[in-house]
Chain A
Amino acid sequence: MSDNTNHHIVPYRTYGLILLLLLVLTGTSVAVTQIELTRWATVVALLLASTKSAFVLAIFMHLKFDQNIYKIMATLIILLVAVVIVLTFLDYGFR
C-alpha cells in the first residue's frame, strides 16, 4: 500500500453515507425479488452485489486512494470473475 494511503483520512461522514448506501442497496436486492424478472433476476442480483462490493473496495478498503497498479490489479481480477460468470451462464442461459 502506498504512503499516500497511510496519510489519507476518510471522514466518518463518508463512511456513514456509504454504510447507508449499502443498506439501501441490500434492501433493493430484497425488494427486486418481488418482481418477476425471469432470466434477468440473476443479472440484477449480481449487478447490485457488484455495486456494493465496489463501494466497499473503493472506500472501506481505500482502493480509491491507492496506487494505480493496485487499482489495475483489482480491476483485472474483477474482470476475470466476470468472465467466469458469463461463461457459466452460457450454459444456464442457453440450456
Chain B
Amino acid sequence: MSSNNTNHTGYKSYLEEDGGRKGIFKWILSTDHKRIGLLYLYAMMGWFIVGVVLGLLMKLELIAPGKTIMGPQAYNATFTVHGVIMIFLIVIPGLPAVFGNFMLPIQIGAKDVAFPRLNLFSWYIYVLGGILVIISLFGNGPPDTGWTFYAPYSFKTGTNMLPAALGAFVLGFSSILTGLNFIVTIHRMRAPGMTWFKMPLFPWSLYGTAWIQLLATPVIGITLLMVAGERILGIGFFDPAKGGDPLLYQHLFWIYSHPAVYIMILPAMGAISEIIPTFSKKTIFGYKAIVISTLAIAFVGYFVWGHHMYTSGMSGAALWAFSLLTFIVAIPSAIKVFNWISTMHQGSISTEIPFLWAASFIFIFMIGGLTGLVLGSLAVDVHLHDTAFVVAHFHFIVFGGVGFAFFGAMHYWFPKIFGRMFDKSWAKTGWITFSIGFVTLYGPMFYLGIMGMPRRYFDYLDEFHGPNIISTMGALVMIAGFLIILINLIKSARHGEKTTEMNPWGGTNLEWQIPTPPPLENFDEIPVIDKATYKYD
C-alpha cells in the first residue's frame, strides 16, 4: 500500500484545527469524523461508568441471600437500567461509533465520511436518546421490565417504561444513520486502487455491521412503537385478552436484537483482525476467509433469533430450525478464530498491550461462543434457560468480546488519536487485573446456572452463597482494573509522552502512513493503493 502523503512538515493536527470555534463548540459543531468519534467516546465513557456502578450494586446485593442493600423492586429497576444503558448506549454504538468514525475514512483513504453533517446529527440523536433514558429514571420510578421490554408486562407495569423504550427507539435512528453513512462511504469513497479485496478488515467488519444496522434496526423501532400503542391506546397486538399474541413481541424484538449482537461483535472482530497481524508481524492468514465469514455472520445472524425463545411455547418445527441455524452461525466465528491463531503461528509476536487484549479476547470470546452452543442445544436450554448461565454466557460475549476488543483497539490506536503514548506499565497492570476480575466475576455464574440459580432475582437459596461471594469479589477486582485502565488513559491523553511517530507499532494500513495525530482531512493527496493490505515483506 502506498501513500503520496509524505510531506507533513508544518501541518496542523485535527486537535489543533478548531474551525474558528472556541471551547466546547469546536467539538459539538465539528463535522470532522475524528472529533465526532471522540464525542461518542466521551459520551460512552460517562455512560459506561454509570452502567458499571449499577452492575456493582447488583453484585453487592447478591453477596448474600436475602435483602442486602436493595429490595426486589429496586433490583428489577437496577438490572433494567443497567441493561438499557449497556446495550443501547454503549455496546451497540460501541466500536463503530468511536473507532469506525475515527478510522474508517482514514483506512480507506478518504478525507471524511460521505455525509459529515448527517454524522454529527447521528451523535445528537444519540445524546437525545440518552436524555430520554435519564428521564425514565424519574417520575413513577425507573422501568422494571428488563432491557428486553417483554410484553405483556411492558404495557402493564406502572413504572416509567415508556421513556426508556422511546430512548431505545430514538437511539435506533442514530444507529441507522451511522450505518447508512458507512455503507455509502465504503461504496463511494475508497481510494483509487483499493478494490474490495484490498480493503482492510476493520472497514469490512463495519460494512457487514452497517447492513445489519440499516436493515434490522427499523424492526425494533416499529416494535417499540407497537408497545407504545399498547400502553397508550390499548390496541392489543400483544395482549392475549384482546386476541393478541405476546410471542409476536418476542419474535419482533429478537428479529432485531439477535442481529444486534453481531452489530456489537463484528466490529470487535474487525479490530482484533487489525491488531493480531501488526503484533505478529505477519500477513493475516486467510484474508478472504475472514471477509466471507464476516458477511456470513451478518447474513445468517438474521435467522437465529428464535434461540432466545426455546421455552416460550414456539412450535416444534420452529425449534429445530432455529437450533440448526444457531449451530450454523457458529461456523464463521470459528473460522475467524482459526485465522487469528494461524496468523500468530510462527509470527514474530511482540506482547505489547494491544496484543495482550487481543489474545485475551480470543480466550474470552471462545468461552462465550462455546457456551452459546450449549444454550443453542434445545434440550440443554430447557434446563439452562433464564438461569445465571445465560448471564455468564451473555457477558462473556458482549462484555468480554466487545469490551476486550474495545480496550485493545483503544490502546492500539491511542497514540494515533491523541499523539501521546500511554503508560505501558500501568496499562499492563490494568489489563491483568481486569482480566482476572472478569473471569472471577462471570465464571462462577456458569456453575450457578447449571446448579439452577435463576437470573433476575434479588434473592437466592443458601446453597448458592459461596459462588456468589466469589463473583462479587471478582466484580470488585474487575472494577479496580477498569479504574486503572481509565485513569491511565485519561492521564496519558492529557499528559502522556508526546509522540509524532507515524507508525509506533509497525502496522501496514493507511492510518500508520499519515501524521500523528492526523491532520484535519487526513491526506494532503488521496493515496493510490497498489498492493494488498497486511503485507509484511
Are A and B part of the same complex? yes
Query: Among B53-61, B63-71, B314-322, which stretch is in contact with chain A?
Result: B314-322
Q: What CA separation (Å) do A17 and B255 show in the bound complex?
A: 36
Whole-angstrom CA separation of A91 from B247 in the bound complex:
10
B243 to chain A, nearest CB (A): 14
User: Is residue B299 contacting chain A, with contact meaning CB distance below 8 A?
Assistant: yes
Contact with B along A11-53 (1 / 0, CB 8 A): 0000000000000000000000000000000000000000000
Indicate if B414 sits at the interface (CB-CB under 8 A): no
Q: Who on chain B is nearest to A85 by CB?
A: B255
Stretch from A2-10, A58-66, A76-84 contacting the other chain:
A76-84
16 contacts between A and B (CB under 8 A): A77-B215, A80-B215, A80-B299, A80-B302, A84-B303, A87-B303, A87-B306, A88-B251, A90-B315, A90-B318, A91-B247, A91-B306, A91-B314, A91-B317, A93-B317, A95-B314
Q: Which of B215, B306, B315 contacts A93 (CB 8 A)?
A: B315
Contact in complex: A87, B215 (CB < 8 Å): no
Chain B residues in 8 Å Cβ range of A84? 255, 302-303
B391 CB, nearest partner CB in chain A, Å: 26
- Give chain B's interface residues, CB within 8 Å of chain A: 215, 247, 251, 255, 299, 302-303, 306, 313-318, 321-322
Q: How many residues of A contact B (CB 8 A)?
A: 12
| A91 in contact with B303 given A80-B215, A84-B255 (CB within 8 Å) | no
A94 near B318 (CB under 8 angstroms)? yes
| Given A77-B215, A90-B318, A92-B315, 19 extra CB contacts under 8 A | A80-B299, A80-B302, A83-B302, A87-B306, A87-B318, A90-B315, A90-B317, A90-B321, A91-B247, A91-B251, A91-B306, A91-B314, A91-B317, A93-B315, A94-B315, A94-B317, A94-B318, A95-B313, A95-B314
Alpha-carbon distance A93/B318, docked complex (angstroms): 9
Q: Which residues of B contact A95 (CB under 8 A)?
A: 313-315
The interface residues of chain A lying within 8 Å CB-to-CB of B251 are 88, 91
Which of B215, B255, B299, B316 lies in contact with A94, CB distance below 8 A? B316
- In the complex, which residues of chain A have a beta carbon less than 8 angstroms from the beta carbon of B315? 90-95
Chain A residue with Cβ nearest B316: A94
How many CB-defined contacts (below 8 Å) exist between A and B?
37
Of chain B, the residue at the smallest CB distance from A83 is: B303
Residue of B nearest to A90 (CB): B318
Interface of A is mostly: helix
Interface of B is mostly: helix
> Which of B247, B318, B322 neighbours the largest number of chain A CB atoms within 10 Å of its CB?
B318
**B residues in contact with A92, CB < 8 Å:** 315
Q: Inside 8 A of A91's CB, which chain B residues have their CB?
A: 247, 251, 306, 314-315, 317-318
- Flag if A87 contacts B316 (CB, 8 Å): no
- Taking CB atoms, residues of chain B closer than 8 Å to A87 are 303, 306, 318, 321-322
Closest B residue to A80 using CB positions: B302
Tell me the bound Cα distance from A91 to B303 in angstroms: 13
Once the chains are docked, how many angstroms separate the CA of A84 from the CA of B318? 12
- On chain B, the residues within 8 Å of A80 by CB distance are 215, 299, 302
Q: Which residues of A contact B318 (CB under 8 A)?
A: 87, 90-91, 94
Set of chain A residues within 8 Å of B306, measured between Cβ atoms: 87, 91
Which residues of chain B are within 8 angstroms of A83 by Cβ–Cβ distance? 302-303
In whole angstroms, how far apart are the Cα atoms of A74 and B210 in the complex? 15
* Distance between Cα atoms of A7 and B325 in the complex (Å): 45
Chain A residue numbers with a CB within 8 Å of B322 are: 87
Q: Which residues of A contact B247 (CB under 8 A)?
A: 91
Residue of A nearest to B320 (CB): A90
CB of A45 to closest CB in B, whole Å: 16
Q: Residue of A at shortest CB range from B251?
A: A88
Closest beta carbon of chain A to B450's beta carbon, Å = 28
Closest CB in chain B relative to A86 CB, distance in Å: 9
Least CB distance from B118 to A in Å reads 18
CB-defined contacts of B313 to chain A, threshold 8 Å:
95
Complex contacts, A90 vs chain B, CB 8 Å: 315, 317-318, 321
Closest chain A residue, CB of each to CB of B211: A77
In Å, the complex CA distance between A77 and B302 comes to 11
Closest CB-CB distance, B77 to chain A, in whole Å? 32
8 nearest interchain CB pairs?
A94-B315, A91-B318, A94-B317, A90-B318, A95-B315, A91-B314, A90-B317, A91-B315
A1 to B316, alpha carbons, bound, how many Å?
45
Q: How many Å from the CB of B376 to the closest CB on chain A? A: 15
Q: Which of A77, A87, A94, A95 has the most CB of B within 10 A?
A: A87
Q: Which residue of B lies closest to A77 (CB)?
A: B215
Chain A positions within 8 Å of B302 at CB level: 80, 83-84
Name the distance in Å between B31's Cβ and chain A's nearest Cβ: 24
Contacts of A88 in B (CB 8 A): 251, 255
By CB atoms of chain B within 10 A, which of A80, A88, A91 has the most?
Answer: A91
Cβ contacts under 8 Å, B255 to chain A: 84, 88
A40 → chain B closest CB, angstroms? 17
Complex Cα distance A84/B254, Å?
11
Residue of chain A at shortest CB distance from B312: A91
CB distance from A69 to the nearest CB of B (A): 9
> A90 to B299, alpha carbons, bound, how many Å?
19
- Complex contacts, B215 vs chain A, CB 8 Å: 77, 80
A95 to B318, CA, bound (A): 9
B364 to chain A, nearest CB (A): 30
A85 to B469, CA, bound (A): 45
Q: How far is the CB of B523 from chain A (nearest CB, A)?
A: 27
Roughly how many angstroms separate A92 CA and B315 CA in the complex, as a whole number?
7
